Structure 1
Amino acid sequence: MAEYITLGLFVVILLVTLSSGIPLVVSLAMGLIIFLAYGLFRGHKPQAIFGMIKQGVSKVRPVLLLLLIIGAITASWRASGTIPAIVCLSTQIISPQLCLLAIFLLCSAMSTLMGTSFGAAATMGVICMTIARAMGINPMFAGGAILAGAYCGDRWSPMSSSAFIVATITNTDIFDNVKRMLRTGIVPFIGSCILYVLIGIFSAGSGTVPNVSAAFSSSFDMSPVVLLPAFAVIVLSAFKVRVHITMLVSLALASLICVFVQGVPVGELPALYFGGFHSMNPALAHMVDGGGIHTMLEIIAIISIAGSYATIFEGTGLICGMRGMIQKISQRYTPFVSVLITSVLAAIISCEQTLAVMLTQQLCDDVEGDGSALALDLENSAIVITALVPWSITCAAILSFVDAPTSCIVWAFLLYLIPLWTLLLSFKSRKDPNFVASEAGRLLGLAEHDDVRRVRGTIDVLPKVA
């Protein structure tokens, strides 16, 4: 009973504080106090509980370091002209009939390159919405394409902090996860493209593409060298270089370009890294301003607290009762069904992607055969579902960036096609366990990790899948 009272009080605090406009980090800090009190109530000594907190923060320390680097990169890519150059090149391929498809693909490419939905929405998303409005495209459709595209890379980019978080908490390799995410996501991705083409054909406006090249050229040197930071990310990621090293190399290249190509004084680089980029041209400010380590401080605090939640839940046994219920759902249906239901509830309650992922992982870590299967489940549920919750931080922020209506969530096809497609695959695998080892199953991203018999313990030898 104490467990349900504790969790219920936490939910009430979340709902009340968030509806009152209080920052999520404050709500989570209050929740941490509640869980500390629960630990004391259960007889755990204060030093033991603080040890749990320390262990939780230590577990996500690599993620915190990565976020600091990402903050500096988001600013340096702006100042170096990398983002303006990519935007200028991208706008040349947009036409009214294929505007929605182009928006989806461009935002997908940008988010894959940057590894952040926020960064993609705040850069390419803003440009794409400007272009869509100029062409007479309904902002509701355009907003959906931007939201889906921004989360595309946030899910499967090797530069994504959320992908790194999933790999960290499931003890899996991020590049193996990305490979499987690409395979399980290809059908929903193609389906989304087809839907955007059909909508675009019947809703195309009659406007023209705004000339952003001239505006950017007046403030940046747009020579090909400014693309080097982005090119480095692609090449190093292809060779599976560690994410931290890849990011640092890209940051170093962007910094050199800032100084020797764009004329940024060396002494201003620290301020750029921390405070972000601010254009001297008011016409460009709304498109390129932003980035910086300071934009990551709140999410760093959130991840630190969420990380401590995970170890407190485990150390105090707070969620053991709920695990039993989730295990029953998994056994009656499929492991992914239990992960999906848990992630939906976690996203609705937590209003934040990282916390939703960590809560889902804590509650569902026993329903799959190993970490690889759970990692794929998390990427195909909690990571994308958070964006479908209108009051979540990520959804609200992205829609605010591009000035899109909340109704655009309906048109973010990829975000619910991925979980639906994975749900279909999970039922197919339950009906025919040998499907995971078949050629079709392998092409769709399934592997021996996903064999439901591994969870149920009904076979001694599992088929090997490359």
Structure 2
Amino acid sequence: MSENKDKSNNNLKREFPFFLSLIPFIVMVGLMYIAVTIFETDPHIPLIMGTVTASLIAFLYGKYDWEDVEDMMFKGIRLALPALVIILLIGLVIGSWIGGGIVATMIYYGLMLINPTYFLITISAICALTALAIGSSWSTMATIGVAGMGIGVSMGINPGIVAGAIISGSYFGDKLSPLSDTTNLASGLTNTDLFEHIKHMLFTTIPSFIIAMIAFTIIGFNVGDTSKSSQEDVQAMMASMQEHFIISPWLLLVPVIVIVAIMFKLAAFPALSLGVVLGFLCHIFVQGGDASVAFDTLTNGYSIESKNDMVNELFNRGGLHDMMYTISMTIVAMTFAGVMEFTGMLQSIMNKILFLAKGTFGLIAATLASAFTVNATCSEQYISIVVPSRMFLKTFIDRNLHSKNLSRTLEDGGTMTSVFIPWNTCGVFILATLGVPAWEYGMYAILNFTSPLIALLLAATGIGITKITDQEKEEFTAQYLKD
């Protein structure tokens, strides 16, 4: 037994050849292109096949036995467990806030702010508010975005510009929302406190949003007046929300209470749990729902059957089951990442990339480039966060850089750039939802391309880069980076 353990420990220290380490990635990327782009299916199976390929190489070259490889998979999954727990809690928050009429209230009052003169900045701000409330850029674009496209086009604005404003606002809210799956993935996989991660993202996200809003304000001065008929979709949506929900400004106290709790340094789990309880109570005592329905909403999500398709699309979601796709994707991706990392294959690839990463600027530039490359090759923004997070975490810590520098960079390079790849799931979704291809809205998705540029600027100047002491490095390494 001890001999086998010693042999396994020796193998774990053995570095795989670079080209041999690339084979699992090549297999995964090739199958990912076929599955996602050609067959339009989910990326789970290509990731599994990549894991199988990596395991076979571990057997044949590293001479690992099955117990070793299985343990590597479990280690990879364990790394994502904190994020998975928060994601489950997010499903409860979304379900309870929809059932309690909180989301409907926020969207309703947001829609009332639309002004023809400042349409572009208004629709961008409304999308930002909605995505911040529900934690989903996709649902925001599929509902508020669809209505905004109709209004904007009727005003004579280029569809690419309207789509750019919608995308910029949606991704701003999604990126800073504690309910967002990608935000939780980036913080969880780098062992960064969720709200520390969100606050650190303000360094790149706020300037990017200001630049975007200035640009949309300038463009907006050249648009014409909107016709009354162009607002019919919005009015119908607001009427439908009034029909199915009690809309009250008092419901806005729920997100305010949660935000105040966060400001007073309440941890993510209790803060979000408080949001679930308040939403659940609003569902019963404000909206008049049965307790059994409110409990079912927490599990299966909210269910609504209105005559308005946009309302149905926006509010038929939430609950634990709504998070299962993200959770299954993360588990499958982390089995692949676990085998790649703990066999040393990922380290072999990382060594080649890091050879070019000199200093803080080079490291952040390499992380941004890696996340964008994964977006372009694997066609999935989740993977652009998962894979680089494991590749670069140890190097950031070794160079006395706080993990929140990495978590922010993953979002700047992964979450934000996913919209520019036409065959990425985000690019495909936007085309299907807003009817505008990536090459038309790309230059107007201002927030999305300025965010990584500002990240590079901060890296070059040192502004917004948080360092850690040698003691903090040792503590982090002992807690998170030891096998």
TM-score bracket for this pair, using the shorter chain length: 0.7 to 0.9
CA contact (8 A) 2:299 2:319 kept: yes
**One-letter identity of the residue aligned with 1:80:** G
Other structure's SS at 1:236 match: helix
Is 1:215 matched with 2:215?
no
Comparing 365-374 with 241-250, which one deviates more in the overlay?
365-374
Change (3 A) 1:67 1:372: closer
Structure 2: distance between partners of 1:293 and 1:124: 24
- CA deviation map 1:142-193 (0-9, x unaligned): 2222222221133233443323322222233333332221123332221111
Aligned residues: 437
Q: Residues 71-150 of structure 1 correspond to what in structure 2 (within 5 A)?
A: 71-133=91-153, 135-150=155-170
Cα displacement (A) at 1:399: 4.7
Runs of 4+ aligned structure 1 residues displaced above 6 Å come to: none
Equivalent residue number for residue 349 of structure 2: 322
Is 1:417 matched with 2:442?
no
Is 1:272 matched with 2:305?
no
Is 1:447 matched with 2:466?
yes
Equivalent residue number for residue 362 of structure 1: 390
Cα displacement (A) at 1:378: 1.8
Cα displacement (A) at 1:376: 2.9
Equivalent residue number for residue 160 of structure 1: 180
Q: What is the TM-score of this pair, normalised by structure 1?
A: 0.86
Change (3 A) 1:82 1:137: farther
Structure 2: distance between partners of 1:367 and 1:354: 21
Equivalent residue number for residue 346 of structure 1: 374
Other structure's SS at 2:345 match: coil
Gaps of 5+ in 1: 430-435, 456-466
Other structure's SS at 1:128 match: helix
Gaps of 5+ in 2: 1-18, 474-483
- CA deviation map 1:172-221 (0-9, x unaligned): 33333322211233322211111111222223442244424433222221
**One-letter identity of the residue aligned with 2:380:** E
Change (3 A) 1:320 1:446: closer
Q: Find 1:298's aligned residue among 325, 334, 349.
A: 325
Q: Find 1:33's aligned residue among 15, 30, 52.
A: 52
CA contact (8 A) 1:385 1:416 kept: yes
Cα displacement (A) at 1:327: 1.2
Cα displacement (A) at 1:446: 3.2
Q: Find 1:234's aligned residue among 254, 259, 269.
A: 259
CA contact (8 A) 2:83 2:189 kept: no
Equivalent residue number for residue 5 of structure 1: 23
Change (3 A) 1:122 1:82: farther
Structure 2: distance between partners of 1:115 and 1:245: 18
Is 1:309 matched with 2:327?
no
Structure 1: distance between partners of 2:435 and 2:253: 31
Equivalent residue number for residue 463 of structure 1: none
**One-letter identity of the residue aligned with 1:32:** T
* Identity in percent: 24
Other structure's SS at 1:381 match: helix
Structure 1: distance between partners of 2:166 and 2:50: 33
**One-letter identity of the residue aligned with 2:76:** G
Equivalent residue number for residue 176 of structure 1: 196
Q: What is the TM-score of this pair, normalised by structure 2?
A: 0.83
CA contact (8 A) 1:306 1:358 kept: yes
